[in-house]
Amino acid sequence: MDEPLQNKRAPVIEPGYTFGSVTDKISAIVLTRPTSNTWFIGFGVMFLLTMMLLFAVSYLFVKGIGIWGVNVPVGWGFAIVNFVWWIGIGHAGTLISAILLLLRQSWRNSINRFAEAMTLFAVASAGIFPAIHVGRPWVAYWLFPYPNTMNVWPQFRSPLVWDVFAVSTYATISALFWFIGLVPDLATLRDRSEERWKKIIYGMLAMGWRGSARHWHRYETAYLLLAGLATPLVLSVHTVVSFDFAVGIVPGWHTTIFPPYFVAGAIYSGFAMVLMLAIPIRKVYNLEDFITERHLQNSAKVMLATGLIVAYGYVVEGFMGWYGGNRYDAFLLWNRLHGPYSFFYYMLLVCNIVIPQVLWIPKLRTNPVWLFFISGVVLVGMWLERFIIVVVSLHRDFLTSSWGMYYPTRWDWMTYIGTIGLFLSAMFLFVRILPMISIFEMRTLLPEAEVKE
């Protein structure tokens, strides 16, 4: 090991903490710290946005999807754009919790818990869209194969069915992984709560955890197994989502670059969301000692790397449009650059490729304000990418007479912004009632935890 170089990097936990003080600091946020007015205002605003989502969806159920901007030729609009965007955001949580665990990247310990929560809430927000976009949402359960009275099964050759399995598996594994990781901390909260009702609730959730050696042994086995199960999901879920497009013979969709390019884009936007959440949280709850410059810097590096893979994807798409010699692919490329949506394509290039390059500069990549700003830009860019893929590919289809434009209606916007409200209200509740940083995993980072041979 190169000692001097190691020392130059910021630590994953600031010095001076003990087992006790780490536990105190994290559990106090949930148990003793009074709920601030800012929390109530923030939660209140997000709750109102969630109610707006409820309103928009209720009106949709009454009126049907005619209230949205979708029509021939753009049959897939905001619902699919937002679905892919949210599912992508979830990927960072799984990457941090599963892959970085298997790779023994201990710096993940302070961000994995809320990144996993972010995954769950993002998948929940994403899951709304496929259910409500089907036109007859009361039979959305037809997406699942079950022995029905119609004696028909879903079309297993369709990637849309694979998607149902990919996303539901993802949601299940993420929820299990998150909950199992929480059990030892829930026991800590149970033991530290003053009020009886809190003891009972945390106690039930802790499932009788006593921290015996046997408990820890089983916990470690289960957690490792789930990490092993979750690891392929980081790659498979967005691969299957990309098949929704890549299997269709639409120029702009039908390319083999889609799976890797989608996975990279998912992790890209996911880390952007992690940073957008981590930066304010560490500030508000004074957690700079736990979520240090090192974490920000590492996340920024992941963003930079995945962003370059995404850029490579754009380059290949452009190259193949020219080199492939298919006139429809060539037209798609021309249409992206000069068509009616060209402004958004240039915005996409600026947001996803140009601006994030400032992350090469170490000063900016450790500056929380800059990182927050760049993460926001990346999230916008990745949303635009899905918009370009869905809308620009469809609005000029093979039949010239059916060319058209897609304009989202107010209901599209209300549903989209509503899911952001849902996501953030869930985050607000999460930081208030559960330990947002894994207490026991933080303790393993302390010098006290080092076993002396």
Residue identified by tokens 């884009």 is 265
| Residue 37 sits in the site that holds another protein (CB under 8 A) | no
Nearest to another protein of 135, 340 (CB atom): 135
Rounded distance between C-alpha atoms, residue 329 and residue 250, angstroms: 9
Q: Which residues pair with 71 in a beta bridge?
A: 74
- Alpha carbons within 13 angstroms on the beta-carbon side of residue 229 total 16
Among 6, 38, 151, 155, binds another protein (CB under 8 A): 151
Closest approach of another protein to the CB of residue 425, in Å = 28
How many residues bind another protein (CB under 8 A)? The answer is 14
Q: How many Cβ atoms are within 10 Å of 394's Cβ, its own excluded?
A: 21
Closest approach of another protein to the CB of residue 286, in Å = 31
Among 127, 203, 260, 381, binds another protein (CB under 8 A): 203
Interaction residues for another protein, span 260-279 (CB under 8 A) = none
For residues 86, 143, 78, 270, the Cα torsion angle rounded to the nearest 10 degrees is 10
- Which range touches another protein (CB under 8 A), out of 50-58, 194-202, 250-258, 321-329? 194-202
Rounded distance between C-alpha atoms, residue 315 and residue 255, angstroms: 13
| Residue 192 sits in the site that holds another protein (CB under 8 A) | no
- Which range touches another protein (CB under 8 A), out of 141-149, 248-256, 289-297, 358-366? 141-149
Q: How many Cβ atoms are within 10 Å of 339's Cβ, its own excluded?
A: 16
For residues 448, 450, 451, 453, the Cα torsion angle rounded to the nearest 10 degrees is -120
Closest approach of another protein to the CB of residue 212, in Å = 14
Among 147, 156, 369, 401, binds another protein (CB under 8 A): 147
Residue 286: strand, helix, or coil: coil
Query: By the 8 A CB rule, do 264 and 309 touch?
Result: yes
| Residue 148 sits in the site that holds another protein (CB under 8 A) | yes
Among 157, 196, 214, 327, binds another protein (CB under 8 A): 196
Nearest to another protein of 144, 216 (CB atom): 144
| Residue 200 sits in the site that holds another protein (CB under 8 A) | yes
Rounded distance between C-alpha atoms, residue 275 and residue 278, angstroms: 5
Interaction residues for another protein, span 111-140 (CB under 8 A) = none
Closest approach of another protein to the CB of residue 338, in Å = 41
Binding-residue pattern over the window 74 to 93 for another protein, x denoting contact by CB under 8 A? --------------------
Closest CA to 446 of 325, 289, 211: 289
| Residue 432 sits in the site that holds another protein (CB under 8 A) | no
Nearest to another protein of 112, 193 (CB atom): 193
Cα angle, residue 200 at apex, residues 194 and 204 outer, rounded to 5° = 135
Rounded distance between C-alpha atoms, residue 362 and residue 358, angstroms: 9
The residue type found at 141 is Y
Q: Residue 328: phi, psi to the nearest 5?
A: -75, -40
Interaction residues for another protein, span 155-184 (CB under 8 A) = none
Q: How many Cβ atoms are within 10 Å of 427's Cβ, its own excluded?
A: 20
What is the length of the chain? 453
| Residue 212 sits in the site that holds another protein (CB under 8 A) | no
Closest approach of another protein to the CB of residue 189, in Å = 13
Rounded distance between C-alpha atoms, residue 359 and residue 303, angstroms: 9
| Residue 149 sits in the site that holds another protein (CB under 8 A) | yes
The residue type found at 417 is I
| Residue 199 sits in the site that holds another protein (CB under 8 A) | yes
Closest approach of another protein to the CB of residue 194, in Å = 12
Among 20, 145, 208, 232, binds another protein (CB under 8 A): 208
Q: Tell me which residues touch another protein (CB under 8 A).
A: 146-152, 190, 196, 199-200, 203, 207-208
